[in-house]
Amino acid sequence: SLIRETPIEVDRKLMEVNFFGTVALTKHLLPHFITRKSGQFGVISSLVGKFGSPYRSSYAAAKHALHGFFESLRLEHFEDNISVTMICPGFIKTDVSKNALTADGTPLNEMDKAQENGMSAEECANQIFKALANKKEEVYIGGKETMGIYLKRFVPTVFTKILRKSEVR
C-alpha cells in the first residue's frame, strides 16, 4: 500500500518478518559458525533492497536493512571464515505479490503482472545455488529489472523517471 495509507503497525509487521526474523535466525546460527571457524549466510533480499518502489515502502526498508546488517556481519566475521551472499531477486514467479500486505494488514491475494511474467522459481533457485557455491558477495537475479541496479547507480535521475512511469501494481 501507499505510505500515507499504511498504519505503523503494518510497517512494524513487515519489518518483523522481513528483517528481524532473519536477524534472529542469524544470531542463533552465528555462535556455531564462529566455533567452527566456518559458515556462510545466504540472505534472500530483493532488488528493492537496493532501491525503493511505490507500494513497497516497508518491504523495501526491511530489505535495505538486511543489506546494512549483513555487510557489517561480513566485515566483523571475516577472520572467522564466515561469508555472506546477498541474494537480490527481481520478478520471480512466486506468490510473493499475493502475500504482500495491504494497508489494513491483510494479504493482497493478487498476482502482479510482473511476477506472473517473471523468472521461474526453479531457474532462480539454480542461480542462487551457483552464487552460493561461488561465494559471491551479492547477486542480482531476474530479467531486465536487474538493470535497475546499474541505472540507479549511474543515472539515478533517469531511473527515478522510469520508476515513476512503471506499473508496479
Task: Give the residue numbers annotated as catalytic, written as ranges.
Answer: 59
Phi and psi, residue 147, nearest 5°: -65, -20
Distance of alpha carbon 159 from alpha carbon 147, whole angstroms? 10
Which residue has 532488488 as its cell numbers?
Answer: 47
Distance of alpha carbon 40 from alpha carbon 130, whole angstroms? 14
Distance of alpha carbon 64 from alpha carbon 19, whole angstroms? 9
29 three-class SS: helix
Q: Which three cell numbers stand for residue 115?
A: 511476477
Distance of alpha carbon 50 from alpha carbon 63, whole angstroms? 8
* Tally of CB atoms within 10 A around 14: 22
